[in-house]
Amino acid sequence: MQPMLNIAVKAARAAGQVIVRHAGRIDALNVKNKRPNDYVSEVDHLAEREIIRVIHRAYPDHAILAEESGVQGANDYQWIIDPLDGTTNFLHDFPQFAVSIALRHRGRLDQAVVYDPMKEELFSASRGAGATLNNRRIRVTTLKDLNGALLGTGIPFREDQDLDAYLRGLRAMLPGTAGVRRAGSAALDLAYVAAGRLDGFWEYGLNVWDMAAGVLLVQEAGGLVGDPRGGADALSSGDVVAAGPKLFKAMVQRLAAG
């Protein structure tokens, strides 16, 4: 395993231990609203500190971009961290959440880990070396169009999000598909696209830490990632479409028509 990916795996597993340890006593947690319907718990902070501790023990000069603590340092290597993607699920004891860690080198995604501590599923990727789930190679599906496709999405839940635009997109995407799932963790949704569990995924208004690791997973599993308007840089826009190459084009066309 690539050394920096190995550190990402160690950090994700350490954070996962923190999350699992607190999962049985959710009622005792200190929870705050960052904004309406957007929660942060003490577990988010504890898991994030554990990730940064593991990374900085190995690479003390590397920069950090983390959801809860923000930007730390400046370096060609920057770790992008979401310590608990799916906090609302976690707080409701809904077992669909994950640790997401990506490493960006000179602006280019290089390593990725998405770890589901409840199912003990570790998705990982290194640029140019493919993507794996628990050390088994994974690939996106090869659907050519939306007929029979199972899609994932995220439904707007904050006041600053455009629900009407999402509903137009949903009406455009649904015909002919096998259905749409909204599970509540973009990092896992993207990992599921990489593993072929979902054929495609789209969402608006994500942060870079929500999707950085998932983007590399999909790319290394043979898929395409872009924004719904056909642009290549979903990380900058915050709006993302991910699927196998042919389905990706079909999804972008449907969203544009909607």
Among residues of the chain, what percentage have pLDDT more than 70?
91
196-216 pLDDT per residue, tens = 999 999 999 999 999 999 999
107-144 pLDDT per residue, tens = 999 999 999 999 999 999 999 999 999 999 999 999 99
N-to-C CA span, the chain = 43
**Residue 82 annotated as lining a ligand binding site:** yes
Say if 93 falls within a structural domain.
yes
CA 139 to chain centre: 17
H/E run at residue 5? helix 3-23
Q: Is 91 helix (H, G, I), strand (E, B) or coil?
A: helix
Which residues partner with 92 through β-bridges?
none
**Residue 110 annotated as lining a ligand binding site:** no
Query: CATH no. for residue 219?
Result: 3.40.190.80
Q: Please indicate, yes or no, whether residues 180 and 240 belong to a single structural domain of this protein.
A: yes
The pLDDT score that the predictor gives to residue 198 is 98
In angstroms, rounded to a whole number, what is the distance separating the alpha carbons of residues 223 and 178? 20
Give the residue-averaged pLDDT of 239-255: 95
Q: How many domains does the chain divide into? A: 2
Higher pLDDT, 39 or 250: 250
In angstroms, rounded to a whole number, what is the distance separating the alpha carbons of residues 125 and 136? 11
Confidence of residue 38 (pLDDT cuts 50, 70, 90): very low
Which sign does the torsion angle of CA 256, 188, 104, 51 carry?
positive
63-72 pLDDT per residue, tens = 999 998 999 9
H/E run at residue 69? none
Confidence of residue 29 (pLDDT cuts 50, 70, 90): low
Q: Please indicate, yes or no, whether residues 106 and 30 belong to a single structural domain of this protein.
A: yes
Number of Cβ atoms within 10 Å of the Cβ of 119: 12
**Residue 85 annotated as lining a ligand binding site:** yes
In angstroms, rounded to a whole number, what is the distance separating the alpha carbons of residues 116 and 137? 17
Q: Which of 90, 106, 137 is the last residue of a domain?
A: 137
Q: Please indicate, yes or no, whether residues 81 and 171 belong to a single structural domain of this protein.
A: no
